[in-house]
């Protein structure tokens, strides 16, 4: 297992469209293990492959308190989303230190392959529903700050670029 560097907003690679995973093979298993380790190390509840510069449709999530219930979504698709929406405070490992409100469907149904390549049906509400929608956005090249006003987004961009420069010093 190994930690993988997480791309930071506004890195343009975060805007790439992910392609379907072709085969759930050893390479994908290794990637899943590395992404889980990276997510846990960073204290995140979700990580999309796009965030570690692998542009394939793969997401790992763990919203449990104990950090021992990993959920692996390969080639996820949302098959139903509630009309009812909620505004939730979101954060992202690619935009550290920034939290803001995003409106999303409060419940969803999704399908995905699991770690063993088996089809799984997921019904989610609350935090898990938010997290799945947030991570699936990453696969479409979308970071949550893109839902915010241009003013807020620019402020975040400036802050992130400044932060990156400071880290280079």
Interface residue list for Ni ion (CB under 5 A): 92
**Residue 62 Cβ, how far from Ni ion at the closest point, in Å?**
14
**Residue 68 Cβ, how far from Ni ion at the closest point, in Å?**
21
Which residue's CB is nearer to Ni ion, number 27 or number 163? 163
Q: Which of 41, 103, 135, 167 is catalytic?
A: 135
Which residue's CB is nearer to Ni ion, number 32 or number 145? 145
94 alpha-carbon distance from chain centroid: 9
**Residue 9 Cβ, how far from Ni ion at the closest point, in Å?**
9
User: How far apart are alpha carbons 143 and 140 in whole angstroms?
Assistant: 9
- Residue written as tokens 């999303």? 104
Q: Are 94 and 53 in contact (CB under 8 A)?
A: no
Q: Which residue has the closest beta carbon to Ni ion?
A: 92
User: How far apart are alpha carbons 109 and 132 in whole angstroms?
Assistant: 10
**Interacting residues of 162 by C-beta distance below 8 A, sequence separation 6+:** none
Our answer to whether residue 135 is catalytic in this structure is: yes
Which residue's CB is nearer to Ni ion, number 121 or number 136? 136
Beta-ladder partners of 90: 100
Catalytic residues: 135
């Amino acid at each position: 297992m190994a930690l993988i560097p997480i791309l930071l907003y506004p890195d343009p690679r975060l805007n790439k469209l992910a392609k379907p995973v072709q085969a759930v093979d050893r390479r994908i298993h290794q990637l899943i293990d590395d992404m889980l380790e990276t997510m846990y190390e960073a204290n995140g509840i979700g990580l999309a492959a796009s965030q570690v510069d692998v542009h394939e449709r793969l997401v790992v999530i763990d919203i449990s308190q104990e950090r021992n219930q990993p959920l692996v979504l390969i080639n996820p698709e949302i098959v139903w989303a509630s009309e009812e929406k909620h505004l939730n405070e979101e954060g992202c490992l690619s935009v550290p230190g920034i939290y803001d409100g995003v409106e999303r469907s409060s419940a969803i149904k999704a399908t995905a392959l699991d770690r063993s390549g088996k089809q799984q049906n997921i019904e989610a509400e609350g935090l898990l529903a938010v997290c799945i929608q947030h991570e699936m956005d990453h696969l479409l090249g979308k970071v949550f700050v893109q839902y915010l006003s241009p003013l807020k987004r620019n402020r975040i961009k400036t802050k992130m670029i400044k932060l990156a420069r400071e880290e280079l010093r």
